[in-house]
Amino acid sequence: MMENSGAPVWLFAAFGFIMAWTLITTATGVIHAMLERVNRGLQDRGRAPLTRYKKGGLTLFILILSVALAQVGIIDLIAKGYQALAYAFIAVFLLPLLTIGVYKIHIKRKEEMADRQCAGLTESGVINKTAD
């Protein structure tokens, strides 16, 4: 598309340089933010922050992981990622909500009914005169 624009060659070179520089600075900022977040988490737990060598190792791991993920392709990565997130949502949130949540609601209602019966109240909250 840009080849047909009739722009001079130096403009293509400048555009390529600016795009590369933007990607590098963005990646550097993201990795730096991740390292700071890890350090903050360690400090909040009372542990020592990452050493210089551990930061380098973690940075290298992140870069290798990003290259491996880039081999998959962005469309497949997003499609598979959203599918995995949907299954994780079902497993982590929906299943416990429908099982443990329903169980806890049932137990709570039983306790409330027992408390009302002890207090002499009917289900509607009116005092039962025949309880005397």
Question: Is residue 59 within 8 Å of 35, Cβ to Cβ?
Answer: yes
Burial class (CB within 10 angstroms; exposed 0-12, middle 13-18, buried 19+) of 88? exposed
Q: What is the pLDDT of residues 83-108, one digit of tens each?
A: 999 999 999 999 999 999 999 999 99
How high is the pLDDT of residue 125? Answer: 60
How high is the pLDDT of residue 102? Answer: 92
**Per the confidence metrics, is the pTM higher than 0.75?**
no
Burial class (CB within 10 angstroms; exposed 0-12, middle 13-18, buried 19+) of 118? exposed
Query: Which of 17-21, 37-41, 79-83 is the least confident region?
Result: 79-83
* Helices first, then strands: H and E counts in the chain: 5, 0
Please identify which residue in the block is written with the tokens 């590369």.
Answer: 20
Residue 127: pLDDT above 80?
Answer: no
Q: Which helix (H) or strand (E) holds 67?
A: helix 52-72
